[in-house]
Amino acid sequence: MDQANGISSALACARPVIYLLAARQTILRYVKTGGKNVKLKRALTALGVAVAAGVVPMVMAVPAQADQVDCVNYLSSKGYTIGSGVRTACSYDTWATKPFCEAKLASLGITNTSHIIEACNRANN
């Protein structure tokens, strides 16, 4: 199952590169043929779709369990009790949600800011 997830993840990472290569080919074809404005519009549209296809998955990333586990294990190794609150905090694992991770851990009574920052960094990797 883990190997299947790894392959799926690798394909998801390769997809934007494939789109960018296709857009590059379209632009090169336009330049070589000295095409009309219609071809330029198509090339720019293809490039826009390729960029969007690469950016949207990064912004809307599905939480990765391994990152949450790293965060939880780190806090456990520092002697904190692990409960649903810590698991919830560690589930905020993107750069956009890192402040929520830090705020949640602080609200649970963790006062050592270096532990909070390190745990949320581990959830973010």
pLDDT, tens only, 45-96: 777 776 666 666 655 555 545 678 899 999 999 999 999 999 999 988 777 8
At residue 119, the pLDDT reads 92
The residue assigned the tokens 């296709």 is: 22
Q: Where are the domains of the chain?
A: 2-59, 65-124
Summarised one tens digit per residue, pLDDT across range 58-71 is 555 555 456 788 99
Residues 6 or more apart whose CB falls under 8 angstroms from that of 26 comprise: 42, 43, 46, 47
CB-based burial, 22-44: b 16+ in 10 Å, e otherwise: ebeebbeebeeeeeeeebeebbe
Cβ atoms of residues 86 and 101 within 8 Å: no
Q: How far is CA 52 from CA 63, 82, 95, in A?
A: 20, 38, 19
